[in-house]
Amino acid sequence: MKTFNVGIIGYGGFGKFLHNAWRQMDNVRVVAIADLNADKLQNLESISVFANWRDLIRQENIDLVAIVTEPSTHETMAKACMEAGKNVLIEKPLALLPDDARRIMEARDKTRMVAATDFIMRFNPLLQYLQQLTQAGIFGQLRRVAVENYAQDEQLPLEHWFWDTARSGGILVEHAVHFIDLVHFLQPNKVLAVNGLKHNRNERQEDQIMANVLYEGGLIATHYHAFSRPGFFEKTKIKLAYDLADLELNGWIPLQGELTALVNQETKASLLQNPFFKLTRAVPIEEAADESRPKGWGLTSTANRDPSLLSSGGILYKANEMVSGLFDLGRSKQEVYMDCVQASLQDVLDKISNPAHQLVAPLEAGLKALEVATLATFSARNAVP
Ligand SMILES: NC(=O)c1ccc[n+]([C@@H]2O[C@H](COP(=O)([O-])OP(=O)(O)OC[C@H]3O[C@@H](n4cnc5c(N)ncnc54)[C@H](O)[C@@H]3O)[C@@H](O)[C@H]2O)c1
């Protein structure tokens, strides 16, 4: 097994987490780190440490560089890395603006280096199963995704780069791209329209923002993000409404999800194959409560219809049972997060070893999420009367 030498540019909160996770991989050696605060870094014996990232990318023994600095630096660093003959794993957001991301892609095509976006959600086994179920149409069409995310800002002082939109791009670019990309990961439909709304606490702090996205086929996704509440309320809920199912995922690294679905024999079998799914209730459709019309209501157009025929979004489906259950990875957030960042790096290493390998999170995914995030941000900023 080949061992890959990795360099990390940016050794702040997330750079350290990546180092911790990657040092546990048998085929990876983190050999170099660059950070503006290089003189303050400790416990990095046997690792070359640089204050100037350009010195790191000159090291001949490095196969891949992870770029883990603030978004406004990604384009310059990514292009320079590839021009220096290094493969790159670029933190989300891929860049500050779509045109910056396109220039990164041009550099990739010119240098033929391997380059990926670090969209770690794509490596979460629960979301991977959900992608399979969605694309196989087990729950019918996906019509709605609603992300509701409350984050604390107690660790984000006013002077933090996060609040400087020229450095971070704002909340949708810096943070929501994870969830925007999740929608793209679940279903590949074209984006038809985007708009946004935001609130500024003061001139510098744009602390609540929302994006609405319409996709071909009728899916409407909403992303609401607030960085304003105490840590006690920190919470992420992702609601997915399919023609035949409601699913609610919890946590920004989703570990669990509650499902209610209308199924037939075939779709139930597919669902039960899922190792993370536990069925808690199943009732024949005749006994399942449909309370859309209370008892005593006059004759409705479905009164004499076969109860197993269901109409949703203008499509006729066949289902004979209503089931409820829980998706549960049965693992801690720490374990799943560690596994995801290891899998994300491994995916890039697989592509370096085998050019035919299809990257799970190519730069194209980084660009598509960034396009939506910037459109919504501009719309939100222009929506002020
Ligand atoms: N994929 C994920 O789950 C995930 C999670 C957290 C953060 N991130 C991303 O990681 C990136 C960094 O976020 P963070 O929270 O670690 O930020 P941070 O501020 O904690 O760390 C950034 C580090 O980069 C260093 N740095 C900045 N400019 C530099 C330069 N020119 N040369 C060398 N070092 C430089 C800083 O000194 C700092 O130590 C962001 O793009 C963020 O969105 C991704």
Contacts (Cβ under 8 Å, ≥6 apart) of 103: 75, 79, 95
Q: Which of 261, 322, 258, 48 lies closest to 137, judged by CA?
A: 261
| Model pLDDT, residue 205 | 95
Q: Does the CB atom of residue 35 touch ligand 1 within 6 A?
A: yes
- Work out how many domains the chain is built from and give that number: 1
53 in contact with ligand 1, CB cutoff 6 A: yes
Asked if 353 contacts 307 with a C-beta cutoff of 8 angstroms, the reply is no
Mutate to test the pocket of ligand 1, among 17, 48, 70, 149 (most ligand atoms within 8 A of CB): 70
For residue 239, tell me if it sits in a domain.
no
Is 12 touching ligand 1 by the criterion CB < 6 Å? Answer: yes
State in Å: Cα 92 to ligand 1 middle: 10
Instruction: Please compute, for residue 46, the number of CA atoms within 13 A of its CA located in the half-sphere on the CB side.
Output: 4
Is 325 a pocket residue for ligand 1 (Cβ < 6 Å)?
no
Q: For ligand 1, is residue 149 a contact (CB within 6 Å)?
A: no
Q: Tell me if 208 is assigned to some domain.
A: no
24 part of a folded domain? yes
> Over its length of 385 residues, how does the chain's per-residue pLDDT go in tens digits?
899 999 999 999 999 999 999 999 999 999 999 999 999 998 888 999 999 999 999 999 999 999 999 999 999 999 999 999 999 999 999 999 999 999 999 999 999 999 999 999 999 999 999 999 999 999 999 999 999 999 999 889 999 999 999 999 999 999 999 999 999 999 999 999 999 999 999 999 999 999 999 999 999 999 999 999 888 888 999 999 999 999 999 998 999 999 999 999 999 999 999 999 999 999 999 888 676 767 777 666 665 678 788 989 899 999 999 999 999 999 999 999 999 999 999 999 999 999 999 999 999 999 999 999 999 999 999 987 7
Q: Is 120 in the pocket of ligand 1 (CB under 6 A)?
A: yes
What is each CA distance from 225 to 91, 252, 341, in whole angstroms? 20, 12, 23
Instruction: Check pocket membership of 62 for ligand 1, CB cut-off 6 A.
Output: no
The residue among 187, 354, 182, 353 whose CA lies nearest residue 252 is: 182
Instruction: Please indicate, yes or no, if residue 76 is contained in any of the structural domains.
Output: yes
Q: Is residue 81 part of a domain?
A: yes
> Would 226 be classed as within a structural domain?
no
Q: Is the CB of 11 under 6 A from ligand 1?
A: yes
**Residue with CA at minimum distance from ligand 1 atom 27:** 69
| Pocket of ligand 1 contains residue 118 by CB under 6 Å | yes
36 — phi, psi (to 5°)?
A: -55, -30
Query: Do residues 173 and 71 make contact, with C-beta atoms less than 8 angstroms apart?
Result: yes
Domain span including residue 33: 4-119+335-354
The rounded percent of the chain whose pLDDT value lies above 70 is 97
Residue 200, CA distances (Å) to 123, 204, 315, 369, 372 in order? 34, 8, 42, 23, 20
The answer to whether the CB of 92 is under 6 A from ligand 1 is yes
User: Best substitution site from 39, 40, 69 to test ligand 1's pocket, by max atoms within 8 Å of Cβ?
Assistant: 69
Look at residue 359 and give its three-state secondary structure. Answer: coil
Opening angle at CA 121, ends 159 and 81, nearest 5: 65
- Closest CA relative to residue 149, chosen from 210, 214, 98: 210
Probe target for ligand 1 pocket from 20, 48, 75, 91, with the most ligand atoms within 8 Å of CB: 91
What CATH number did the domain enclosing 75 receive? 3.40.50.720
In a domain, 325, yes or no: no
Amino acid at 74: H
192 token code pair: 């038809």
For the stretch 270-295, what's the b/e string if a residue is b when 16 or more beta carbons lie within 10 angstroms of its beta carbon? ebeebebbeeeeeeebeebeeeeeee
- Adjacent-strand bridge partners of 256: 250, 328
The predicted pLDDT at position 302 comes to: 60
Q: Report the nearest-CA residue for atom 40 of ligand 1.
A: 70
C-alpha closest to that of 380 among 169, 65, 167, 237: 169
Query: Is residue 34 in contact with ligand 1, taking CB distance under 6 Å?
Result: yes
> What's the gap in Å between 126 CA and the centre of ligand 1?
27
- pLDDT of 336: 98
Q: Assess whether the C-beta atom of 136 lies below 6 angstroms from ligand 1.
A: no
In a domain, 248, yes or no: no
Q: For ligand 1, say whether the CB of 66 is within 6 Å of any of its atoms.
A: no
